[in-house]
Structure 1
Amino acid sequence: MLTEHFIASIGAPDKKPNTSIAKDAAIFGWESQPHTAQRFLFKKSATPPNCLAVSASHVYAAQLDKAVVHIYNREKGNQEATVPFPERIGCIALACEDTVLVLGSDTGRIFLWETHTGRQIATSQAHLQPVTALAVDPTSNFLLSGSADSSIHVWSIPSLLSFAPTSSSNQNLQHVPLHTLSAHRNGITSLVLGHSSSFCNIAISASKDNSCIIWDYHTGNLLRTILLPSTPLCLSLDPADRAFYTGYADGSVQILDFYSPHFSLASDGDEAKNPLFDSAQATMPVQPPPTTIWNPPTADFGATLAMSVSYDGCTLLTGHGSGKILAWDIPAARFVADLTTTPLPGPTTNIAFLPVTGYPNTTPPRFKQHAIVKPRYGAFDANTAEGMVPGTYAVQAHLTSTFAVPTFSAFEAPSTSTSEFASALTHPVFPSSLLAAGLAELSGSAAPARAYTAGADAEAGAQKQAASADFVAFDSVLPAQQLEAQNAQLREEVAALKRVQRATFETMERLRREKKALESKSARGSAGGAGGAKFEEEKRRSEERWRGLGRTGKWEDEGGDEDEE
């Protein structure tokens, strides 16, 4: 049976909790289908709008007017950690399959925290005022940040997370946005992105200038401007990107249908064409009629602070300043029910539907995170100049996917189409092909002075390598002449080492014979006679020559001649 849940959070409690609500309850989880009932709750949290993010294993809640994020474990049902940050957090979002938490601060900076590794990246002051909204596209390639300064920055997430800078001359270039969307005239209140993974995906921004703008965020082009009757406080997009919804301070909700004749007139007569990408209408503002506004039964519910659309696009949930959660029937365009018979102890600032569960034969997730790793700012930035992954960088996750385990030996290459990593992971030992490739790379690693001899910047490269004691070069294939020269030099070094080894063995054999002769003389001579004195003198000279060999590497004969080692 399919099951659908939603989660909601409140801001600062403004009234005494009802006896039917647990004390200090702040984050609530409900089941909406097939039955409507509360399933779980977490305590001790006060989250402003856009400050709640939910993954399959954890709930992240940025605290109101604090530089703290509370982490709740959904499996254990308790608060797992309290993570402090250097600045107050105004909004959060999850990216990269819920492994990266993106945070916007009150000073205009963006933080990216890898919850599986503890790595934390911080940009410079991107906005002039606090970051108020964040949105991540379905591919986790783009991040949009909206601010109270009315600007929207578009970032590249792979560039922000990369260890290698995009430019050797300016390492901070990777912390620069791709482009800026700047058509609004007041602060941004909400941001939503379409569900498409193509380059035709859209972004919608709401602003205090009583307008919403639809963008092509890949190119930075403005697609449509919508004039609204009052300030939009929150946004939600239809699952099929056919329409979006916005809420107002009087508790009402307005629907903006992209294919409605009120929204756009198909000038070419093709009603199946997406009107958003009609360049002839891009400069024409749209003012929806009053009939697109849905009003609640009474005005006592308070402002509409949060909203979310169900998986099938038929139900809209709205959170209000009175602590109420209302359900709307989208096809019928009317109010349905109040899901909270008892108001929550504070204004409902965040609400979000969770992914539907219960599908048969579903593919399990590739990994599971049982515990988060607290952020360590700057702990993995030692080798960013060269773009190498630090040796202390480690991922903590539980792999849950089933890997194919083919049958092959340790001396034959696998005959499957799996990746080399999967083969090495499931093989009883490292495959010979992987070992051969690793040995080939190691054999190609040269001394720091030689690694850049094939390039034009040999001297600069040698200086960079000499500065790093742990440098290992993995260069491409060198020209044949250079390889032959290196082989010749290596052969000369081997021959020299053999000569040194042969001379050392000869010296050791001479010392052995001398020692044996001295021992025989000692046995024949008397201890107190002239023979004993002569023996002691020869022994002393032999010891001095032995010590001289250890200091200088040369053997001195009695006549003053020297034998090179």
Structure 2
Amino acid sequence: MAPPQQLVLAASSTDAGVAAWDLRTGAEAIRHRTCASRPRALTVVAGRFLAASQAPAGNSAPIHYYHWDKPQVAVKSFPVEPIRALIADPEGSYLIGGGISGDIFFWEVASGELLVQWHAHYRAVRCLALYDFLLISGSEDGSIKVWDLLTMLDEQSRLEAKTQHIYSFNQHALPVTDVACCHGAIAVSSSEDHTCKIWSLSEGRMLRSISFPAITDSVALDPRSHIFYAGGRDGKIYVTAMGIDVTSPSSDDSTIIGALDDHSKAVTSLASSTDGLILISGSEDGNVRVWDTRTQQVIRKFKHSQGPVTNVLLVTPKRVNLPPLQSLRKVCSANGGSESRAVIVPQPENDVQIFGNFSSDFLERCLDALQPGSSSRLFESGASALYGAPKQQGVEWRSKYLELQDLFVREEIVISFSQHMSWFLTD
């Protein structure tokens, strides 16, 4: 059986469409038109289709859906405001958008319903990331906030919460440009203040701040270890170890262990394969590079357009017959309306309903997490401490969890750092 096709995707802020190249052959598979998206505004919905938030053009800033085998837009939705950042959950049940006003929008894909909308930041939301039931948002106001989705999706919990967010990080001095999460409940953020910062999502604190020679606009994590890549405006991709000191915040350039250099302008977007062996980079020079992380060599070169590349992804498409895609609603139905405005391209007659499309996996996990005595939620006790007095069981579980978490992070980072320093020095 032939291995599944992997596609390298790239989009631009100019109307150059979304290009898709076959990773194995290097041939361009398709180019979706039209598309002009800003950084962090292109996402894949569980491998089934693409969603891209468009840069504002006049009074219009729609979200486009694309099928894999059709170059034209399948659905155009018109939110109440331009969406600056866009992601989907792993099951493809929800789309989450960060608006230019600082609001966050949470849509159900199957129905198009806007389930909840809340004001998250004082300025535009620039980036979003998910870790289990946690949503991490970064903003032009320099702040990073961590949200408990189970709380945000439940109206009563939101009303009872003292603060809607679990954590608010304000150590960045300038706008946050990107954020990514990895195992061990660790998040890495980049900013226009020339730093990347490493955060503990379980403890709600900064573990490390690393300074760079240039502004970093993008980050990608190596899933094999505690190494991340930071794309700089000087055209370099900095290979960075997270460091071994997790006991107190520190600032140190010594963990930058190398640089990948093949772009002539700023590196705007990065994406890593699930095994960490492939890194994709997009740049303002209009080029896309595919890197072998073991040899640190470019193995594929693609030219997207004359304009800047703002988004790159590496995906394995699921070519299935979809039920008609629904446009995204403008307002929550609970607020007294379900207004939507969309242009929907007719779908093939053989479209079939996909069972499980209504977020069954996510909802089952939510129900499990809400069961009395459950300890499956990473942030259960942290949220309880913020929103009210935690039960004794939650206190005991949190104490045990933090002990294990601290041991895990320390051992993993020390081992990873040692291995990669040895690998880099001997390469």
TM-score (norm 2): 0.72
| 2:309 matches 1:354 | no
Conserved? CA contact 1:91–1:105, under 8 Å: yes
Counterpart residue type for residue 144 of structure 1: I
Q: How does 1:447-458 map to 2 (within 5 A)?
A: none
| 2:140 matches 1:152 | no
**Corresponding position of 2:32:** 42
Conserved? CA contact 1:124–1:175, under 8 Å: no
| 2:215 matches 1:231 | yes
Q: Which has the higher strand share?
A: 2
Q: How many Å separate the matches in 2 of 1:41 and 1:315? A: 22
| Of 51-60 and 122-131, the range deviating more from structure 2 | 122-131
**Corresponding position of 2:44:** 54
Q: How many Å separate the matches in 2 of 1:165 and 1:174? A: 12
**Corresponding position of 1:2:** 3
**Corresponding position of 1:379:** 333
Counterpart residue type for residue 219 of structure 1: E
- Determine which structure has greater relative contact order: mean sequence separation of CA pairs < 8 Å that are 6+ residues apart, divided by chain length: 2
- Which 4+ stretches in 1 moved above 6 angstroms? none
Query: Which structure has the larger Rg?
Result: 1
Counterpart residue type for residue 301 of structure 2: L
**Corresponding position of 2:282:** 319
Gapped regions of structure 2 (runs ≥ 5): 337-351, 358-363, 365-427
Task: Report Cα offsets for 1:375-398 as digits up to 9, x if no partner.
Answer: 33222457xxxxxxxxxxxxx952
1:129 to 107, 115, 123: 123
Q: 1:67 to 1:160 in 2, by over 3 A?
A: farther
Q: How many Å separate the matches in 2 of 1:375 and 1:174? A: 30
| 2:399 matches 1:399 | no
User: Shift of the alpha carbon at 1:193?
Assistant: 0.7
Q: How many Å separate the matches in 2 of 1:158 and 1:250? A: 40
Conserved? CA contact 2:185–2:200, under 8 Å: yes
Q: How many Å separate the matches in 1 of 2:321 and 2:288? A: 31
Q: How many Å separate the matches in 2 of 1:98 and 1:189? A: 24
Conserved? CA contact 1:10–1:345, under 8 Å: no
| 2:178 matches 1:190 | yes
Q: 1:96 to 1:248 in 2, by over 3 A?
A: closer
2:152 aligned counterpart, secondary structure: helix
Counterpart residue type for residue 176 of structure 2: I
TM-score (norm 1): 0.55
User: Shift of the alpha carbon at 1:323?
Assistant: 1.2
Q: How many Å separate the matches in 2 of 1:150 and 1:290? A: 23
Task: Report Cα offsets for 1:354-375 as digits up to 9, x if no partner.
Answer: 1488xxxxxxx9x974332223
Conserved? CA contact 2:10–2:304, under 8 Å: no
Paired residue total: 336
**Corresponding position of 1:102:** 96
**Corresponding position of 2:295:** 332
**Corresponding position of 1:29:** 20
1:12 aligned counterpart, secondary structure: coil
1:123 aligned counterpart, secondary structure: strand
1:399 aligned counterpart, secondary structure: coil
Counterpart residue type for residue 122 of structure 2: L
Conserved? CA contact 2:241–2:256, under 8 Å: no
Conserved? CA contact 1:128–1:149, under 8 Å: yes
Q: How many Å separate the matches in 2 of 1:285 and 1:83? A: 44
Conserved? CA contact 2:12–2:37, under 8 Å: yes
1:45 aligned counterpart, secondary structure: coil
Counterpart residue type for residue 336 of structure 1: V
Gapped regions of structure 1 (runs ≥ 5): 14-24, 259-263, 265-274, 358-364, 383-395, 402-420, 422-565
Q: How many Å separate the matches in 1 of 2:231 and 2:191? A: 12
2:254 aligned counterpart, secondary structure: coil
2:166 to 149, 172, 178: 178
Once the two structures are aligned, what percentage of the paired residues are identical?
Answer: 23
1:128 aligned counterpart, secondary structure: coil
**Corresponding position of 2:400:** none
Q: How many Å separate the matches in 2 of 1:89 and 1:27? A: 18
Conserved? CA contact 2:231–2:237, under 8 Å: yes
| 2:191 matches 1:207 | yes
1:165 aligned counterpart, secondary structure: helix
User: Shift of the alpha carbon at 1:310?
Assistant: 2.4
1:166 aligned counterpart, secondary structure: helix
Conserved? CA contact 1:166–1:174, under 8 Å: no
Q: How many Å separate the matches in 1 of 2:123 and 2:217? A: 18
